[in-house]
């Protein structure tokens, strides 16, 4: 027994020595192999500063829809004030729910060049960690979903300005709910979800094409399809509450800092750049618009000033994080001219775009998207240059994105309204229009008149 045990211990000692030698020789080789292998990218982590900024930005953009309600509500006659404001507020509910159920997934998840997939439907996988989003983020995925929801909500509400005072409320609710899913969602995917326009190289910082051109074209089609008000061109259609209009435009400007600066998705220098351009572009528009008012009619109107602010905000939206502050002033000043004269020309036609959504958002968004391809400065944005900095081809790419959005939004909006019109009447009847849509659609009045 002792002899056998000694032989075992001797063989064990030899094996131990061999293993130790292999380890000593192998460690440097393994270490070299590890050094040669590419390092795995760090997992995204939550950043408290970015999270705080995106919480604020999301709340600011959400505020823009009630602000739009005041802006639009003040521009109509008192008998339609509540109905007009409700057209914005109702979007918070129906469009918001549609976005959570399926819209977010189809817009901003991996899929085809034309539409996203269903992997995030019903907010599946949309949690508290900064993972699973279509872009790299450093704040909760669910917050990114909410931020994007506010864009969809206000885009649908913008259309209402073209068909106020005559579209029946049930048909309108069905329309904006479906429109957000079959028009807004695909266009958002094309540009922001890795779709074909993103691959082409079209840039849209915060929604010039996705939001404003899209809504402007839909507004034009809706105004024509629903038809004009029965007293259009027959009686004076005077805004009933200009202070509401000014309040709405001021709140829109306030919320727009979240709209544009928040689109940086970080509390960083680009957010600061977008903040500056969002402040300065509308200032440039306001100066030029006021001068045009004075030259044309000798008076600077309050409604004109409020409209100018909105036009400037619309125009700078696609460019906010891509251009310099001084070029933002120039962009805003240029954008004032086509929108101003677009409004003047529209007033001489039979198009009843009641609150001039086409001139403000359609024309303003188009000009802003094109000028993004002119003024973009890679030394600031780190991504691309425009025409002024040696990249003239960018203008053609921007124009392609605008054209594609106009064609798609126009055709699908028309089909959608025609289909809804088969099931639900779109236009209020003569009695409803005469009495006012506050009473006939909601059973309420904005103001209590003397004598009941």
Tens-digit pLDDT string for the chain (452 aa): 333 333 333 334 443 443 343 333 343 333 333 344 455 566 789 999 999 999 999 999 999 999 999 999 999 999 999 999 999 999 999 999 999 999 999 999 999 999 999 999 999 999 999 999 999 999 999 999 999 999 999 999 999 999 999 999 999 999 999 999 999 999 999 999 999 999 999 999 999 999 999 999 999 999 999 999 999 988 878 999 999 999 999 999 999 999 999 999 999 999 999 999 999 999 999 999 999 999 999 999 999 999 999 999 999 999 999 999 999 999 999 999 999 999 999 999 999 999 999 999 999 999 999 999 999 999 999 999 999 999 999 999 999 999 999 999 999 999 999 999 999 999 999 999 999 999 999 999 999 765 44
In the chain, what are the domain boundaries? 48-440
Burial class (CB in 10 A: 0-12, 13-18, 19+), 207: buried
Both structure tokens of 154: 């206000």
The CB-side HSE value for 180 (13 A sphere, CA atoms) comes to 31
pTM over 0.85: yes
Distance between CA atoms of residues 115 and 209, nearest Å: 17
Domain at 48-440: CATH code: 1.10.3430.10
Terminal CA-CA length for the chain: 117
Distance between CA atoms of residues 392 and 17, nearest Å: 71
């Amino acid at each position: 027994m002792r002899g056998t045990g000694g032989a075992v211990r001797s063989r064990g000692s030899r094996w131990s020595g061999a293993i130790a030698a292999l380890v000593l020789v192998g460690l440097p080789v393994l270490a070299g192999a590890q050094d040669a292998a590419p390092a795995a990218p760090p997992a995204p982590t939550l950043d408290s500063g970015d999270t705080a900024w995106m919480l604020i930005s999301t709340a600011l953009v959400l505020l823009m829809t009630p602000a739009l309600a005041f802006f639009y509500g003040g521009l109509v006659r008192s008998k339609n004030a509540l109905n007009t404001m409700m057209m914005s507020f109702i979007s918070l509910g129906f469009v918001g729910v549609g976005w959570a159920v399926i819209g977010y997934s189809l817009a901003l998840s991996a899929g085809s060049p034309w539409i996203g997939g269903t992997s995030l439907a019903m907010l599946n996988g949309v949690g508290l960690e900064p993972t699973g989003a279509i872009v790299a983020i450093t704040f909760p995925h669910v917050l990114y979903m909410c931020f994007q929801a506010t864009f969809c909500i206000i885009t649908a509400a913008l259309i209402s300005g073209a068909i106020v005072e005559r579209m029946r409320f049930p048909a309108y609710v069905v329309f904006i709910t479906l429109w957000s899913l079959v028009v807004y969602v695909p266009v958002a995917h094309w540009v922001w979800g890795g779709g074909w326009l993103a691959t082409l190289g079209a840039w849209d910082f915060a929604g010039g094409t996705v939001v404003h051109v899209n809504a402007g074209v839909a507004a034009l089609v809706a105004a024509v399809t629903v038809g004009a008000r029965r007293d259009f061109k027959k009686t004076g259609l005077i805004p009933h509450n200009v202070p509401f209009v000014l309040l709405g435009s001021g709140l829109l400007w306030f919320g727009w800092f979240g709209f544009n600066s928040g689109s940086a998705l970080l509390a960083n220098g680009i957010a600061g750049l977008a903040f500056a351009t969002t402040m300065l572009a509308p200032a440039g528009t306001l100066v030029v618009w006021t001068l045009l008012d004075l030259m044309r009619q000798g008076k600077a109107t309050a409604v004109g000033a409020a409209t100018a602010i909105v036009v400037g905000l619309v125009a700078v939206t696609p460019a906010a994080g891509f251009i310099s502050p001084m070029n933002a002033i120039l962009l805003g000043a240029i954008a004032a001219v086509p929108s101003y004269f677009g409004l003047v020309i529209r007033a001489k036609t039979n198009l009843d775009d009641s609150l001039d959504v086409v001139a403000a958002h359609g024309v303003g968004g188009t000009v802003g998207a094109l000028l993004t391809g002119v003024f973009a400065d890679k030394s600031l944005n780190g991504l691309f240059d425009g025409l002024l900095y040696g990249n003239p081809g960018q203008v053609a790419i921007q124009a392609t994105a605008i054209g594609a959005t106009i064609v798609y939004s126009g055709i699908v909006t028309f089909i959608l309204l025609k289909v809804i019109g088969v099931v639900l009447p779109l236009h209020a009847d003569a009695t409803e229009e005469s009495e006012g849509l506050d009473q006939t659609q909601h059973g309420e009045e904005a103001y209590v008149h003397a004598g009941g």
